[in-house]
Amino acid sequence: MKYSNQSVVVHCSPEMLPLIEELEYNWSYSSKFGSDEVDLYLTDIISESLTTDPDVELCEHYGLNYDLIHCIEAV
């Protein structure tokens, strides 16, 4: 997998916090939604698939449950 020069914020459910802390990812509570949403800061990847959703591929790469993701945005 290749990493891009782009950073992304993954807005996700606080249910993922134990996993995020276990994996030692950089995170904070949402400035907009407080403890109802976790913002996870990651380096984007360069998609290698033409058929897989890039957001799904990013989550799979980082070991995240896509069903608990609210949205992903470039920084």
pLDDT at 51: 84
pLDDT at 52: 84
pLDDT at 3: 86
Residues of the chain falling short of pLDDT 50: none
Task: Judge contact between 13 and 44, C-beta under 8 A.
Answer: no
The DSSP-derived string for 4-51 is: EEEEEEEEE-GGGHHHHHHTT-EEEEETTTEEEEEEEEEEEEE---SS
